[in-house]
Amino acid sequence: MTKDNLRTCLTTNPDSILPLAVGPSNKPFRSQSRRCYNTRCQCLHPPDRQLCPTGDDCTEFECELDHPPSRTVRCDQGSDCDNFFCSFLHPTDWDPCEEGSKCINSRCPHTIHPFDRIIPLQTKATGKEQIKQSYSLLKSIEQRKVEREQIQLPILASKDVFCQRLKTERILVVTAETGSGKSTQLPQYAAEYFGGLVVCTQPRVVAAISLARRVAKEYDGTSVGRSVGYRVGRGSDGKGRNQVPGTDIIFMTDSALIQESQQDQQLNKVKVLIIDEAHERTLNTDIVIGLAKLLLNMRTTDFYVVIASATIDPIKFLNFFGRKGAEVLNVPGRIYDISVEYIPKADDSTEEEHAVSTLLQLYEKHEGHTLIFLPGQREIERALELFSHDIPDNCVALPLYGSLSPEEQDKVLQFDEGSTGERRMVVFCTNIAETSLTIKNTCVVIDSGLAKEVRFDPKRRLTVIETVRISRSSADQRKGRAGRTGPGHCVRLYKNDDLTRPNIEPEIHRSSFDLVVLQLVRLQLKPQDFPFIDLPSSGPAILQISLQLLKDLLCIDINDRITLRGELFAELGLDPRLSAFMVDTYVEHGPILEVTAAIVVILTAPGTVFFMGGATKEAKQMARSRVAIGAQEYESDLLYHVSVYEKWKKIGMIDPETHVCVTCQRTTKAKFSCRSCRATYSVNNTLNNKVLNTIESVCDASINTIINKRWELNPSLLSNANESLIIASHLLKNFPEHYGHLLVPHLPNEGACMVANDFRARIATSSVFVQRQLGKSHFIAMSITRLPAGDYVIERLHPIKPSKTTSVKAIEELAVLNNVGWEWNHEIRKEASNFKTEVWYKWLIYEYDRCLCKLILWGEINMKDFVHRALTSIVQNTRDLLLTRTRSVDCGPIRATFESGLVCLRIEDKHENNNAKYRLDLQHVPCKTFQELYEWIKCVLDVNRQDLRENNFRPCQEPVMDEDSYESPPFFVVFASEEAFNRALSHLPPFNICPQRVDAFDIIHMSEKETWGRQLLLKPKENIFLTVEEMKTKFRKYIVSCKQIGKKLLPGLQITNMPASVNKTSVQHAVGNTIVPARIDIFYSDENNSNMGSSSVRVYFQDERECHQAILRLQSSSLLNQHLITIFSKKTCQIKDIPAVPSMERVKLEAPTFLVTTTSRRIALRMYSHLSSKWIVNSSASVTVTNLDLYPNFDDLLK
């Protein structure tokens, strides 16, 4: 293959093999195909391109295949690296000791130790020489000074003033503008000047780890684990990498520092405490600030505090620390001009749609990278999917949110722009990108103005996740990200006056104080006297509520002194009620601890165990389907998640004796598990490997803490213990306000009542409670989310058995309406929604029986009269409305179809629908378009598009506010063969089976109006090939359904002058394995002799897109090259070979005929009158007989 006829790869995204990275759309261009790292790319590539199948997840040091630039780099020292915590790649024989230089075991089995390790019997001289050799590997102060002078960050000019003032004043408030370098440089300056341990706190895990790795590179010139480390959570050092030691600088999350203070109340190891991003005012940040004030009074000579932020209110902090009138250290930033534009969202679009639409409008007008701030992970995944449809060439779209692994975050932070800067990045992020993280060359910021907040209601004792408007200070922080390297542009997708808060609301005003109070009591501090920079919004009362709860949980005694049980709960560092659940279940039945510990850690993990995103809609749907199918085997969401974790945990386990991985059977030096096997398993099963690693680490730490004999726990061992019931009873005891029940047991999709606080909630579609009929109505919901519209969504449900005295919402059948067709049912619901503010509407439930055309209304029994009165007018109004539209109302269950002259074509009984032999009726299918439907059918049913003969799926044309919960109306599919039907039936989840069957003319699932006088037969006058999908798109404003009449026509290619040896396999190979032709027909000039003459090939495809792609591939394939054909010459009477060049042309098709149903008779008349120039137009009609018993001689009447 020559360079000229190579069709270069369409994808230049090195990260597109990852679950949430999106590559460009299929727009051909001819550059850099060697740098395409997408393992699913369907295009042609140079022969020297050899991709590693695991991409940047590859952990093999020796792997020589091609990897994306974002893959972790190899360690320069290879097997000789003595840093157990080194984050780079190492050979398989790398075997460092976790104890490092502290190891004193002269027979330590590990082969690598630091040079400064001194074991007994070594001479002092030898030790000094080794220490000298060890430190020679790290950067010196002089080296760092030279590099800083070269970079010239703005904060460098304030270095000496910062150190001297901090030494003198001991508390220093630093306001440093965006881009000044405060987060990376201040810890280094303090470490060099003061000589002791410097701790820098961060509100977020992402920032703490990212800064630690960057500072380690600047300070040491190597990985974390030497002078620089981090602590971001519980768990042992090394396992899960939550804690990496550092001798000079440690970056910590605020919560990690509070946990450290429980072990060392005066933080004696810490000399300088830098509280970074103090403006975010998280609850833990406020606790750290209060501890810092106390420690300044306790340690008057050897403790120093720095309060740092870009948008802080310095006077408030100076007054708090008793430094009224002190001077603030202001550090200018390297910020350029940023233009601001306001483009508020329209009411009929979602945040993601508006953000992506704005991005596409701006992309070509600006250079550099783009940040798009969205509220959360779900919104980011939707936006990635939308952007993938129109992504420009040389553009890479990546996510950035808290539950991503450090490696995945590095794809953003260390993005490869290419040798000439030709590659651009679009980052869809949450507010974690507001501060600390530096994304170079960001020139455009698109800000939704939204963020997710956790809010605790002390009266209802309920924690709810809400989506709220950000503050003006947060908006300024987001804007500032666009002007760090040059002039930037910020687009705000809201109005200027939408932002009502000047600063971030302190989390102390909206958080639970239970754990905080327990930690303060453990520090022998009175919570009422603790120096909070801001008091809780509810005042001291919330502290008393928390103290009473801790007394009820036996964590503190009547004198407010901590008990041994309270010490254990403080050690665990969890919500005390979760700790009580874990400890009490362990005491009741010891073996249950591993399950309950996993439940608690999964509930508090930074993300879900599932990866619900995907680079394509198919991948995303596959992830959702896998979760839904797996959930059908369980009766509890919590136990389902635990089972997923336990299956993952068994992968890659290391045999302690042979050091062999039980999964890949390779010998490894790894101590705990085979990282490569677990990463591969996670990718194959759409699991979040980073979150699972965190769960394992924290789970092990929690179990080890609880079983410690220090706590004097004596677990029992129950015979025939029902673990589910044990879990249920303790969840109900500790979280009674999370108790709820289904409103109508057989209608889980209609929601539930949360009893204690009397509100209605929708159950998440992934829950086991809506995947199948459990026969259980009562549950504890451990996750509650409040949507912007005010609705509640509950997740992570566990069934319970309530006592007989438990109060429940009394929901009963209030009204039954018979002979109600789907359209009438739809209009009744729409009309009733106008009464949302009425008391009776809150608990109103609809149940519609499509088979019997019956509408049942459920609600509170005491509201029956109100519902009846409202229903009377609603039914009358909707019936009158429908009659004005169509002069008939579909009441079912008989339908007759006529043609011109009142000739009856068919009579159909909706009770006995035998319209198709190989037919399935489906429901709860999360698809909006035909493309999504075909991907879902392939992913879930394992059936290709060409195996479908007919369907009445109706694509969604209206904006959807919550795409994750969107489900198409029920519809049917008819399969082309029994084999395809049986295959689909074997894979079909029960959740997707529609209990009632409907026919092809049923307006229920097609959302059609009455069709009389509105049906037309359309056929193009020119031989233009159109599919049903294209017709629906072309006339989407005017029709509600479309069906092709007669034999289905397919676009095709005809290739002539082919050799007689050609076969279907060679043709399939030429068009590529990613295109599956609907049919391949081969015709031979000499049917009797397969070695003589030529052949011609006809290849048919499902649509024009596949046909066009096949043309491009065939043009560059060897199939169309010149070849020899063997013929018998009549002139010479001899057999000879002659050269022949194949030719390719499209198969000519007769234009298809379509039956369309228009939105109204007026539209039908208009189309009939105006389409005649390009279309052959005829009419069609059907009549519905609503009550057959009125026509006893119906058959004779038709005759």
Q: What is the pLDDT of residues 823-834, one digit of tens each?
A: 888 889 889 988
Rounded Cα gap, residues 329 and 352, in angstroms = 40
- The model's pLDDT over 805-818, given as tens digits with 9 standing for 90+, comes to 777 888 999 999 98
Query: Lowest-confidence range among 112-126, 258-272, 472-486?
Result: 112-126
Beta bridge pairs of residue 779: 740, 799
Task: Look at residue 134 in the predicted model and tell me its pLDDT.
Answer: 47
Cα-to-chain-centroid distance, residue 1037: 33
Is pTM beyond 0.75 here?
Answer: no
User: Residue 896 corresponds to which tokens in the numbers above?
Assistant: 């007759």
Most confident of 285-289, 675-679, 957-961: 285-289
Confidence of residue 589 (pLDDT cuts 50, 70, 90): very high
Q: What DSSP string runs through 729-772?
A: HHHHHH-GGGEEEESSTT-GGG-EEETTTTEEEEEPTTSHHHHS
Q: Cα–Cα distance between 1003 and 1009 in angstroms, integer?
A: 7
What is the CATH architecture assignment of 141-331? 3-Layer(aba) Sandwich (3.40)
Taking the domain 1057-1145, which CATH number applies? Answer: 3.30.70
| pLDDT tens sequence across 514-536 | 999 999 999 888 998 899 998 87
Comparing 324-328, 958-962, 968-972, 1070-1074, the range with the smallest average pLDDT is 958-962
Question: What is the structure's pLDDT at 31?
Answer: 38
Q: What is the mean pLDDT of residues 377-384?
A: 86
Distance of CA 54 to the CA centre of its chain: 20
State mean pLDDT over 1138-1142. Answer: 85
Range 265-282 average pLDDT: 92
Name the phi and psi angles at 196, rounded to 5: -100, -170
Q: Cα(1190)–Cα(1199) distance, rounded to whole angstroms? A: 17
pLDDT at 620: 59
| Inter-residue contact 904 to 896 (CB < 8 Å) | yes
C-alpha distances (whole Å) from 1199 to each of 1181, 1193, 1194 are 18, 10, 9
Query: If you average pLDDT over residues 226-250, what whole number do you get?
Result: 77
> Residue 900: pLDDT band by 50, 70, 90 thresholds?
low
Distance (Å, rounded) from C-alpha 435 to C-alpha 206?
A: 11
Residue 173: C-alpha distances to residues 178, 266, 277, 503, 1041 (Å): 16, 22, 11, 18, 67
Work out the average pLDDT over 674-682: 84
Structural contact between residues 623 and 612, judged by C-beta atoms closer than 8 angstroms: yes
Assign 493 a pLDDT band (cuts: 50, 70, 90).
very high
Give the whole-angstrom CA distance, residue 1120 versus residue 1162. Answer: 53
Burial 1003-1018 (b: 16+ CB within 10 A, else e): bbbbebbbbebbbbeb
Helices 283-298 and 254-263 cross at an angle (nearest 10°) of: 40
Residue-wise pLDDT tens digits, 968-1027 = 777 888 888 888 888 888 888 777 777 644 333 333 333 334 566 778 888 887 767 777
Residue pair 1007/969 in contact (Cβ under 8 Å)? The answer is: yes
**Does the structure show a pLDDT above 90 at 1184?**
no
Place of tokens 């309406």: 817
Question: Can you tell me the distance from the alpha carbon of 49 to that of 51, in angstroms, rounded to the nearest whole number?
Answer: 6
Residue 1172 in this model has a pLDDT that exceeds 80: no
Nearest-5° angle of CA 1026, CA 1168, CA 1023? 30
Region class of 1031: left (phi > 0), else alpha (psi between -120 and 50), else beta: alpha
Side chain identity at residue 798, one-letter code:
H
Helices 576-588 + 514-522 axis angle, to 10: 80
Tens-digit pLDDT profile for residues 407-453: 677 788 878 787 777 889 999 999 888 876 778 889 999 999 999 88
Nearest-angstrom CA–CA distance, 1055 and 1146: 9
* Dihedral over Cα of 87, 438, 307, 521: its sign: negative
Q: Are the CB atoms for 456 and 512 separated by under 8 Å? A: yes
pLDDT at 328 exceeding the cut of 80: yes
Give the pLDDT score at 997. Answer: 40
Query: In the predicted model, is pLDDT for residue 758 greater than 50?
Result: yes
Two domains, one topology: 338-508 and 1057-1145: no
Higher-confidence residue of 949 and 797: namely 797
Return phi, psi of residue 982, to 5°: -65, -35
Q: Is the pLDDT of residue 685 over 50?
A: yes
The answer to whether domain 338-508 has CATH 3.40.190.10 is no
pLDDT band at 268 (very low <50, low <70, confident <90, very high): very high
Q: Which pLDDT score, from 0 to 100, does residue 19 have? A: 36
What is residue 1152's predicted lDDT score, i.e. its pLDDT? 81
Distance CA 928, CA 969 (A): 10
Dig out the tokens for 645 from the structure: 């974790």
Task: State residue 895's pLDDT score.
Answer: 55
Does residue 1036 carry a pLDDT above 60? yes
- Phi/psi at 899 (nearest 5 deg)? -115, 180
Higher local confidence (pLDDT), 450 or 623: 450
Helix (H, G, I), strand (E, B) or coil at 513: coil
Contact status, residue 1097 vs residue 1054, Cβ threshold 8 Å: yes
Q: Which residue has the tokens 């004696």?
A: 268
pLDDT at residue 763 greater than cutoff 70:
yes
Cα four-point dihedral sign 1193, 1194, 1195, 1196: positive
**pLDDT exceeds cutoff 70 at 618:** no
441 or 42: whose pLDDT is higher? 441
Q: Mean pLDDT throughout 33-53?
A: 63
Range scoring the smallest mean pLDDT among 61-75, 360-374, 474-488, 979-993: 61-75
Q: What is the pLDDT of residue 298?
A: 93
Instruction: Give the per-residue pLDDT at 124.
Output: 43
Q: What is the pLDDT of residue 787?
A: 79
pLDDT at 36: 65
Mean per-residue pLDDT, 281-286? 89
Supply the pLDDT for residue 407. 67
Amino acid at 492: R
The average pLDDT across 698-711 equals 92
- pLDDT surpassing 90 at residue 184: yes
Residue 341: pLDDT band (50, 70, 90) is very high
Average pLDDT over residues 950-965: 66
**42 forms bridges with which residues in the sheet?**
none
Confidence of residue 30 (pLDDT cuts 50, 70, 90): very low
12, 9, 935, 727: which is closest to 416 by C-alpha?
12
The pLDDT of residue 128: 43
Which of these, 894, 925, 928, 899, lies nearest to 909 by C-alpha position?
894
Percent of the chain at pLDDT exceeding 70: 83
Q: What is the four-CA torsion angle of 383, 385, 389, 394, rounded to 10 degrees?
A: 80
Instruction: Choose the weakest-confidence range: 23-37, 48-62, 780-794, 1107-1121.
Output: 23-37
The pLDDT value recorded for residue 164 is: 95
The pLDDT of residue 972: 82
pLDDT for residue 613: 57
- Spatial separation of the C-alpha atoms in residues 901 and 907, rounded to whole Å: 16
The pLDDT, as a whole number, for residue 622 is 64
| Position with higher pLDDT, 17 vs 1083 | 1083
Q: What is the pLDDT of residue 1046?
A: 67
Q: Which helix (H) or strand (E) covers residue 261, if one does?
A: helix 254-263
- pLDDT at 581 (0 to 100): 96
Q: Are strands 1153-1158 and 1015-1020 parallel, antiparallel or unpaired?
A: antiparallel
What local confidence, expressed as pLDDT, does residue 199 receive? 97
More confident residue, 986 or 870: 870
Q: Which of 33-47, 237-251, 1090-1104, 1151-1165 has the lowest mean pLDDT?
A: 33-47
More confident residue, 142 or 118: 142
Least confident window among 91-105, 120-134, 203-217, 896-910: 120-134
Mean pLDDT of the chain: 81
Does pLDDT of 116 surpass 60? Answer: yes
Domain locations in the chain as residue ranges? 141-331, 338-508, 1057-1145
